[in-house]
Every structure is written in C-alpha cells, then in structure tokens.
Amino acid sequence: LTEKKPCVVFVLGGPGSGKGTQCANIVQHFGYTHLSAGDLLRAEIKSGSENGTMIQNMIKEGKIVPSEVTIKLLQKAMLESGNDKFLIDGFPRNEENRAAFEAVTKIEPAFVLFFNCPEEEMERRLLNRNQGREDDNIETIRKRFKVFLESSLPVIEYYNAKGKVREIDAAKSIEDVFEDVKVIFTPKEE
C-alpha cells in the first residue's frame, strides 16, 4: 500500500509533431525510459500475437486500439524496464484511454508534454519520413489528423484544466525544440 508510484510524463501531440524524436533526446539527458504506445503496438503486430491483425487494421485506419490492449503492453514494458521514470509517448489518445489507465494503474501523470505543431508541417514530415510505416500515406495521415482533433485534443484540454500541460512550439528545428524541452525537465533552483 505504501509502494512508491513511478513518475510518468505523458508526451502528446499530433502525428509527426516530433514526440519520438524529442523523447530520444530526453532519455539521453534525463534518465527516463521511453515507452511509445505506437511502437509497442507495432511490435505486437510483428510478434504475430493473436491481436496482431486487429491492431494492424486499426493502425491502417488511424483508429485508436482498445485501451486494455495498449495498457497491458505499457504495464509490461514498465515492469520489464526496472526504471521508475517513464515518458509515455502517444498515449492516452482519448478520454477512455485516460480513464482506463488511471483506473488500472492508479497513476496520475506528473505533467503532460504537448508538442503543438501546424498540420501542414506535420503532414510534410510524415510524407518525408520514409520508414515504411503503413500509416504514412496521405489517406491514413488525414484520418490520423481527424482522430487527433476529435479524440486526443480533448485529453490535452482535460489536463490543461488541471494545470498539468507544458506546451511546446514544435514547429521549430529539432535542436530548438529540445532547448525548450530541457527547460521543462531541468529542476528549478529555489
């Protein structure tokens, strides 16, 4: 009952806003473990698990995979990491994800890092990425943008009302964005 809860930072922002890129930088400087929900789901497809086909179809349509699937993968990765500081990247994506994670894990995020980026810039980045992601085509990208606006932005607004959102201008260069990120993760002198 007195077990110490891990420190969790949710890293949110639209498709291509730079969540994964900046999480890699944060890991190097601040000792967090990076857990990308999308990467965990893609690994689950590759592993040939029984949920793989369902996950693959949902990602192709830009839809949000049921919470219990994603939460199980996140919990497993948290346990296996041996760490107690996590960047959870790309999750929670809707109100149901958020409520289920809190109910199951009893964890509240320390804060939410929000990468705010114009859609035209995100579209340009995704179309240039060239890493063979099945959702990096213009039809799926449009669907991902729509789901972000309709389902994921309300989660950011929920945490904003609680004073937990740290917003970053993600349209700048990778280096300039990281300068702003560093300020947020650096402990303040009293």
Task: Measure CA 184 to chain center.
Answer: 17
On whether the CB atoms of residues 21 and 115 are closer than 8 A, the answer is no
Residue 54 beta carbon to Mg ion: minimum distance, rounded to whole angstroms: 20
User: In terms of CB distance, is 78 or 89 closer to Mg ion?
Assistant: 89
Residue 64: name its binding partner from ligand UP5, Mg ion, none (Cβ under 5 to 8 Å by kind). ligand UP5
Q: What SS3 state is found at 33?
A: strand
Residue 164: name its binding partner from ligand UP5, Mg ion, none (Cβ under 5 to 8 Å by kind). none
User: In terms of CB distance, is 1 or 17 closer to ligand UP5?
Assistant: 17
Task: Write down the number of H helices and E strands in the chain.
Answer: 9, 5
Between CA 177 and CA 84 the distance in angstroms is 25
Q: How far is CA 14 from CA 7, 62, 87, 154, 169, in A?
A: 23, 12, 16, 12, 12
* Binding test (CB under 6 A) with ligand UP5, winner from 18, 35, 113, 145: 18
Per rule CB under 6 A, is residue 109 in the interface with ligand UP5?
no
Residue 150 beta carbon to ligand UP5: minimum distance, rounded to whole angstroms: 13
Work out the number of other CB atoms within 10 angstroms of the CB of residue 149: 12
* Binding test (CB under 6 A) with ligand UP5, winner from 8, 17, 101, 123: 17
Kindly list the residues in this chain that would bind Mg ion in the complex (CB under 5 A): 19-20
Kindly list the residues in this chain that would bind ligand UP5 in the complex (CB under 6 A): 13, 15-21, 36-38, 41, 58-59, 62-65, 70, 90-91, 93, 125-126, 129, 135, 144, 173-174, 177
